């Protein structure tokens, strides 16, 4: 018993035990740290991608659900929107505010009016030919709906348009 106690307290014996353990399981602490850091970066990158993907799916869910039953809604007369002007409308339901803009080249484009940052309503800034969100100064291009300034990172959902004679119809929603 006393012998065993002595053995436990013997520093030399403990070192020998540790050495035997290290022979069986050799660990290089430098490379171990390196691998751990790399794995952490991989984990963070994959985690970020997963969260971004989930956000896109969640943002698109209402439109995906409605895609099968997108109505065809008359939203304006083409002649009533001069170059550089805009018109507000709702699509696909009365609770989905949208904006129709006549670009300087004469083309009509329409987007959801709900900012992709924190859902404030974007407005048309005629001077800068952009869609502007006054909440946090987010800017979206009129021609593609892509964010180019401020906090938004996702483009505005685009409303598909069809023109028949002088009448403009909204016929669907595209999520980029």
Among 131, 133, 159, 175, binds ligand FES (CB under 6 A): 133
Among 67, 78, 88, 135, binds ligand FES (CB under 6 A): 135
Does 168 engage in binding with ligand FES (CB under 6 A)?
no
Instruction: Report residue 18 as tokens.
Output: 């540790």
Residue 152 · residue 115 · CB < 8 Å: yes
Among 101, 109, 115, 161, binds ligand FES (CB under 6 A): 115
Does 136 engage in binding with ligand FES (CB under 6 A)?
yes
Does 149 engage in binding with ligand FES (CB under 6 A)?
no
The nearest distance, CB 35 to ligand FES, in angstroms, is: 40
Among 76, 86, 102, 152, binds ligand FES (CB under 6 A): 152
């Amino acid at each position: 018993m006393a012998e065993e106690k002595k053995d436990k307290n013997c520093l030399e014996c403990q070192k020998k035990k540790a050495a035997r353990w290290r022979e069986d399981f050799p660990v290089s602490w430098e490379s171990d740290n390196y691998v751990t850091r790399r794995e952490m970066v991989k984990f963070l990158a994959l985690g970020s991608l997963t969260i971004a993907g989930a956000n896109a799916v969640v943002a698109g869910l209402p439109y995906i659900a409605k895609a099968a039953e997108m109505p065809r809604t008359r939203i304006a007369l083409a002649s009533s929107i001069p170059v550089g002007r805009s018109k507000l409308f709702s699509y696909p339901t009365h609770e989905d505010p949208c904006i129709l803009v006549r670009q300087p080249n004469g083309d009509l484009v329409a987007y959801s009016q709900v900012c992709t940052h924190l859902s404030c309503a974007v407005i048309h800034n005629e001077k800068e030919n952009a869609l502007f969100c006054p909440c946090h100064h987010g800017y979206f291009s009129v021609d593609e709906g892509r964010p180019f300034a401020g906090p938004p990172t996702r483009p505005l959902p685009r409303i598909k348009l069809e023109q028949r004679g002088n009448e403009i119809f909204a016929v669907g929603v595209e999520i980029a």
